Amino acid sequence: MRVLAALLLLPLGCLPQARYELVLKGGHVIDPRNKRDGVFDIAVRQGRVAAIDRNLSGEREIDVSGLYVTPGLIDLHVHVFYNTAIPDAWAGDNSVQPDAFSFRTGVTTMVDAGSSGWRNFEAFRTTVIDRAKTRVLAFINIAGYGMISDMVEQGDFDPAQVARLARKHADVVVGVKTAHYRKPDWEAVDRAVEAGRLAGLPVMVDFGNFLPERPFYRLVGERLRPGDIATHMFRAPVPWVDSSGKLYGYLGEARRRGVRFDVGHGGGSFVFRNAAPAVAQGFYPDSISTDLHTGSMNGAMIDMPTTMSKMLALGMPLIEVVRASTSTPAEMIRRSELGHLGEGAPADIAVWRLQKGSFRFADAGGGALSGDSRLFCELTVKAGQIVWDWNARAAVEYQKLGPVYGIRPGVDSILPPRR
């Protein structure tokens, strides 16, 4: 009892701590939110970042020297409502299974961009969100059944129902979405904004068809609120530069009033002729995202590292590419615990090789761009567990493991009889 009493009187920092379970050693850490850009060790305990320093040691140590280490990526725009069996629909066969595409690309959090609506969101949650190892969050579509088709009928927009579901599922719902609206009015946008106001959440708008009655400059200049998100920012129909090559003023004005701009590459929503002048004139995306679906993953987009590498090739600095793939998306969806490597944060970590060489990148319009760098994910950690290890850095030389490693005695193997 006297020993226990003495321990209780000690300062917390003097108490013995459990040894770190995992230490990534010697990587170049880029953590924009915490202003880290240098070589450090990262220690993990109980699924969280426990320390970032030099010369740390733990039960399991992995050498990542010569590689970059970042927070696990947040892909702000994906489609993963894959199990409805509806052909040619984003809420169906065009969606992908999240765990099949996340960890191998350094992504630990995916945000479904309105594949489901207020009528079928709970089915999406039960069958996908709650079963995935990837952290899946979601925008709820203002249309009742979400993105089953491109043609959204008026009358199925119910802001009150969207807000009700958003409150009920506040642990995974991060906003409201409208997409692919074809009519020449503002009904879908206005109802989505109303739902966002009722729920206290941001709205993401995929503008669909560009029509004279509702131009893009009015969307970002008048309709969207501070914190709302215009996705597919580098889509071909978005007007970016005037006849002299200078960015239109409405873009800067929209950003100053708080509107956010998301890449959302997709299968047809990214052209270099818009992205290049934007980056050259310092208008970087707030968030880099893929618009992942079965078409985009097999088209020019490919994956999140490729999309990030395109931004590098355009001249966006590496630290800004990481920021737009981690801490800023976390801020946009109001998940401040994600997207950084501060002590106590979830141990979601990506380890990268920045390959040097001659690379070519394609956009959605058939254009190409050459670059000398390409990001490749070597290792991913989710909640302290290694979930992707391309180069077997966490494995041990098999000769050191003994003659029966990998075998459960009496369960997996039956020895032949002696002769």
pLDDT digits (tens, 9 = 90+) for 321-352: 999 999 999 999 999 999 999 999 999 999 99
Quote the percentage of the chain above a pLDDT of 70.
92
CB atoms within 10 A of CB 373: 13
In this predicted structure, what is the pLDDT of residue 209?
Answer: 79
Count H helices and E strands in the chain, helices first: 11, 15
Does residue 135 have a pLDDT over 60? yes
The answer for residues whose C-beta is within 8 angstroms of residue 152's C-beta and 6 or more apart is: 143, 178, 180, 181, 182, 188
SS3 107: strand
Q: How far apart are CA 288 and CA 321, in angstroms?
A: 8
Mean pLDDT of 134-147: 96
pLDDT bucket at 294, cuts 50 / 70 / 90: very high
CB atoms within 10 A of CB 218: 14
**Closest among 206, 339, 181, 209 to 264, alpha carbons compared:** 206
In this predicted structure, what is the pLDDT of residue 415?
Answer: 66
Mean pLDDT of 179-194: 93
Does residue 40 have a pLDDT over 90? yes
Most confident of the following: 2-11, 65-74, 86-95: 65-74
Mean pLDDT of 234-241: 96
Does residue 151 have a pLDDT over 70? no
pLDDT, greater one: 417 or 347: 347
**Closest among 342, 285, 355 to 314, alpha carbons compared:** 285
Q: Global pTM? A: 0.93
415, exposed or middle or buried, with CB in 10 Å at 0-12, 13-18, 19+?
Answer: exposed
Q: Which domains does the chain have, with CATH numbers?
A: 72-340 (3.20.20.140)
Mean pLDDT of 261-267: 98
In this predicted structure, what is the pLDDT of residue 405?
Answer: 80
Mean pLDDT of 397-416: 77
Does residue 7 have a pLDDT over 50? no
Q: How far apart are CA 353 and CA 179, in angstroms?
A: 35
Q: What does the DSSP 8-state code read for residue 221?
A: I
Q: What is the DSSP string of 75-96?
A: EEEE-----S--TT-TTTTTS-
Query: Per-residue pLDDT tens for 190-209?
Result: 999 999 999 999 999 998 77
pLDDT bucket at 84, cuts 50 / 70 / 90: confident
The answer for residues whose C-beta is within 8 angstroms of residue 251's C-beta and 6 or more apart is: 220, 240, 261, 278, 283
pLDDT bucket at 2, cuts 50 / 70 / 90: low
In this predicted structure, what is the pLDDT of residue 91?
Answer: 85
CB atoms within 10 A of CB 210: 14
Does residue 107 have a pLDDT over 70? yes
Q: What does the DSSP 8-state code read for residue 267?
A: T
In this predicted structure, what is the pLDDT of residue 312?
Answer: 98
Mean pLDDT of 36-55: 98
In this predicted structure, what is the pLDDT of residue 70?
Answer: 98
pLDDT bucket at 9, cuts 50 / 70 / 90: low
Length of the chain: 419
In this predicted structure, what is the pLDDT of residue 92?
Answer: 84
In this predicted structure, what is the pLDDT of residue 155?
Answer: 58
Q: Which contiguous run of DSSP H or E holds residue 45?
A: strand 36-45
